[in-house]
A and B are shown apart, each in its own frame.
Chain A
Amino acid sequence: MNWSLPENIATYGGKIDALFWVITIVTGIAFVLVEVGIIWFCVKYRRREGHRAYYTHGSKSLEVLWTAVPALALVALGVYSASVWAYIKGRDAAPSESLHIAVSAKQFEWNVTYAGADEVLGTSDDFSTRNQLHFPVNRPILVWLEAEDVLHSFFIPQLRVKQDAVPGMTIPVWFEATKTGDYQIGCAELCGLGHYRMRARVTIHEPAAYEAWVGEQIAARAASGEPTVVAASADLGNDVGDGTGQHAGHDHSAGGM
């Protein structure tokens, strides 16, 4: 069993993880206090013949105490959380030097559009990949998140990032990785029968390797003469049937199916 969070590779992940430990300690104290208290009471005040319960309707001072202490603790936690929240998800929280990437979620794929060499989205050197997100390490990334059909949720556990993708909205979400490597995007919002398989590979490159990868992609697309925006293009087929579905070229005569 796992008792902690996955590896953190986000610059702001430390703030989230610290919050986790603070809440764990605060709630842990309350947990122990209550559970031990109840068990202790159960033992100590268990029924004894001839014994009579202490008749009381409460205690003002005690009640004020256990109203005030949780209230103060929770408000403090709220204020602390609010600052972290604004830093991560505030409207203009993304650093200005961020690299812009557009991510469009659809049942059940993540289509990623890159700004190309000029690093400006919406120009002719943009290109798209399917189910692959590449970006450089140590640079803030600003993802413009959209959904084509239903709700999805963009979740990379190690980057401590999660944001619902909503049809009709373009939602900015930023993060900065501190480490290269291969990770995964998962879909965290139920989006239909393929929800469980809606995942994509995340590749975090060294900056130079990222440049090289972008160059390769542009070159490959130029070579094939195809437009660079192709992610959603449909396969229009190369397999000739005889019109009956009794498909001759591939023999799937596995018996008993």
Chain B
Amino acid sequence: MATIVAEPTGIPVVEEHHEMSFIRKYIFSSDHKVIGIQFLFLSLFFLLVGGLLAMLMRWQLAWPGRPMPFGGLFPETMAPDGIMLPEFYISLVTMHGTFMVFFAIMLLLVGVYANYLIPLQIGAPDMAFPRLNMLSFWTAVPAGLIALASFAVEGGAAGAGWTSYAPLSGMPEYSGVSMGQQMWIVSLVLLGLSSILGSTNYITTVINMRAPGMLWTRMPLTVWALFITAILGLLAMPVLSGGLIMLLFDQTIGTHFFLPETGGQPLLWQHLFWFFGHPEVYILILPAMGFVSEILSAGSRKPVFGYKAMVGAIVAIAFLGFIVWGHHMFQSGMNPVLGTSFMVSTMVIAVPSAIKTFNWMGTMWRGNLHFHTPMLFAIGFVMLFVIGGLSGIFMASAPFDIFIHDTYFIVAHIHYVLFGGALFAIFAAIYYWFPKMFGRMMNDRWGKIHFALTFIFFNLAFFPMHTQGLAGMMRRLYDTSGYTHTADLQGTHLLITISAFALFATGVIFAINFFGSMFRGEKAPPNPWNATSLEWQTPSPPKHGNWEQAPVVYHGPHEYSHPDVTDKDWLAQNERPDVVSPAGH
């Protein structure tokens, strides 16, 4: 029963490593761990930028037209005398979304952890294409810088929303933005290239470079999630890139793909964007689900409940994710019959998410729960993702979507999914894998304080947006006080803004803990969480090449509290070939 199918991979485990210069080692490194850490700093920087932009927006919404503190720092094209202009507000809306979706969350989930974890968790010495990997990072850097620099050009940064609906995005005479919009396009084309390069690499690595014994059924759920995410990225990103280039041509050389006067069709952009955009939503949540599954399992000291169903759910979500894009377009003017079919597929895609939620609860059920910081964030993820998932059902119902489409209800929903969901999982992952990355522990007490405050202020900031949406408050309004049905919601705006400021401030606690621990944290043992997957069975941080001894895998990824292992409550994937575990069949 327990025979190990140890396919020889032919990959030498300990390579010859020459001493490398600082630049080769830390700047133009091809080591997947260094690249992962580079992505970590890059994406945390953009998380900060995106957060700052959000703070400016919240100021304007709470105190419309009042001069901002430090507003004098802005040029008169953005905020004369510190008073924010509507066109600047719209640029903030656009760039907040762009930075958060593409440069913070996506890079944190995929850029950081696919790079860092995939080789370590499958027992490989590095990625299949290390130089491609380096190129992927060094394409993402200029992409981000171009987006950031667009604030400084004439006309300001892009102002058509992060979805950049045509024709507004395609015609400077309507938006007042020309160069900024073009830079936005170029930035995302570059980022798409980075993502495609990365995805190719992740897929190849997972298929070809698993350690002996690392069967598909023994891969940690994180690897499964990142693998499927890479496939999503590889299929969806080129569609966005194609659409972006068409949009660029519309602006610069007068093609009219999306402009109706000469036969173009504005809805075409929406179809292209959301054909990418909905899989993108899952790119932004599947890896988070993988982290959470793994951290919940380690924190509960129990195997993941329904491992195969969890994998199946990831695959199902990925597949269904490609046939639901039209639910973003129920009110767009596309044929209502199409709306009905998209409504049905959208209802169906909620099922795998429900399965995952119940399986997470099953994982905690009868466990022995250790409430360390990563575990708290993972539990927080489940509690908040559920709200984001359930609020999605309101929108999935096309007739009710008539009312809440383009209102704050949508804003609340996306933040419950991307902040309450993805970002909570990212925090869990950072606290969890920090010791592996930097060889030191993050401070657990400050981590818990960070968690508690984030959880509280997150809910105070975003839950009330549901109520604003139900009152009919539209999105992306510079000043909501002009409508009779939203005029008396100014108090809610105030509550949200103060909570958002507090939420931003909790980031300071995190930043101090993060950077402080990097230099002064307690030294981390190889396996501080007593976890089972391979990355914990090598020193913290792992050396170049990852392994002192090539790992051979005998067990499933989450074997906690195995009854045949009595001296401890965990069974590493590469130890005790004598013990039989279910996934070893």
Contact = CB atoms under 8 A, between A and B. Distances in A.
29 contacts: A1-B464, A2-B470, A20-B394, A20-B400, A35-B383, A41-B361, A42-B379, A53-B561, A54-B561, A57-B582, A63-B306, A66-B355, A67-B354, A70-B351, A81-B398, A84-B399, A85-B343, A150-B168, A151-B266, A153-B406, A157-B471, A164-B331, A184-B483, A187-B474, A192-B168, A192-B176, A193-B85, A193-B159, A195-B86
A30 interface: yes
10 A-B pairs closest in CB distance: A168-B260, A157-B472, A58-B306, A54-B366, A70-B354, A27-B390, A188-B406, A78-B347, A84-B399, A196-B477
Interface in A1-51: 1-6, 15-16, 19-20, 23, 26-27, 30-31, 34-35, 37-38, 41-42, 45-48, 51
B485 A184 contact: yes
A62 interface: yes
B381 to A, nearest CB: 11
A45 B364 contact: yes
A53 B301 CA distance: 6
Nearest to A15: B399
B397 A19 contact: yes
A160 interface: yes
Given A42-B369, A54-B366, A67 B351 contact: yes
A129 interface: no
A46 B300 CA distance: 9
A77 B347 contact: yes
Contact of B399 (A19, A54, A183): A19
Nearest to A153: B406
Interface stretch (A87-95, A114-122, A247-255): A87-95
Contacts of A38: 361, 364, 379, 382-383
B323 interface: no
Contact of A192 (B175, B337, B343, B477): B175
A175 to B, nearest CB: 10
Nearest to A41: B364
A168 B166 CA distance: 12
A35 to B, nearest CB: 6
Contacts of A220: none
Interface string B453-494: 000000000001001101110111111101111000101100
A57 B351 contact: no
Given A45-B300, A186-B483, A167 B167 contact: yes
A57 B570 CA distance: 14
Contacts of B368: 45, 47-48, 51-53
B549 interface: no
A82 interface: yes
Given A20-B400, A89-B339, A167-B266, 20 more contacts: A5-B403, A16-B402, A38-B383, A41-B367, A51-B368, A52-B569, A53-B301, A53-B569, A54-B302, A57-B306, A62-B358, A63-B358, A85-B343, A164-B333, A186-B483, A188-B474, A188-B475, A190-B161, A191-B168, A199-B483
A31 B167 contact: no
Interface in B292-341: 300-309, 331-333, 335-337, 339-340
Nearest to A183: B484
Given A166-B332, A184-B483, A82 B489 contact: no
A56 B305 contact: yes
B434 interface: no
Nearest to A187: B474
Interface in B211-244: none
B506 interface: no
A196 to B, nearest CB: 4
B93 to A, nearest CB: 8
A74 B406 contact: no
Contacts of A63: 306, 309, 355, 358-359
Q: Which of B335, B383, B495 has the most chain A CB atoms inside 10 A of its CB?
A: B383
A81 B345 CA distance: 13
A34 B161 CA distance: 34
Given A34-B357, A34-B386, A190 B168 contact: yes
B407 interface: yes
A108 B470 CA distance: 25
Interface in B260-280: 260-261, 264-267
Interface of B: 85-87, 90, 93, 159-161, 165, 167-168, 171, 174-176, 259-261, 264-267, 300-309, 331-333, 335-337, 339-340, 343-344, 347-348, 350-351, 354-355, 357-359, 361-362, 364-371, 379, 382-383, 386-387, 390-391, 393-394, 396-400, 402-403, 405-407, 464, 467-468, 470-472, 474-480, 482-485, 489, 491-492, 495, 560-563, 569, 582
Nearest to B175: A192
Contacts of B362: 58-59, 62
Contacts, number: 303
A15 B402 CA distance: 12
Interface string A188-216: 11111111110100000000000000000
Contact of A47 (B87, B358, B371): B371
Q: Which of A48, A158, A184 has the most chain B CB atoms inside 10 A of its CB?
A: A184
A189 B561 contact: no
A3 B359 contact: no
Contacts of B468: 2
Contacts of B390: 27, 30-31
A5 B473 CA distance: 11
A177 B394 CA distance: 24
Contacts of B161: 190
A235 B318 CA distance: 55
Contacts of A144: none
Contact of B333 (A160, A169, A199): A169
Given A27-B394, A58-B309, A74-B350, A149 B482 contact: no
A110 B505 CA distance: 42
Given A30-B390, A45-B365, A150-B168, A163 B397 contact: no
Contact of A196 (B174, B364, B482): B482
B300 to A, nearest CB: 6
A160 B470 CA distance: 11
A229 interface: no
A184 B160 CA distance: 24
A55 B303 contact: yes
Contacts of B265: 168
Contacts of B470: 2-5
A171 interface: yes
A197 B562 CA distance: 64
A34 B353 CA distance: 13
A201 B306 CA distance: 56
A53 B300 contact: yes
A30 B400 CA distance: 19
B305 A57 contact: yes
Contacts of A54: 302, 365-367, 561
A88 B371 CA distance: 50
A35 B381 CA distance: 11
Nearest to A51: B368
A232 interface: no
A201 B174 CA distance: 24
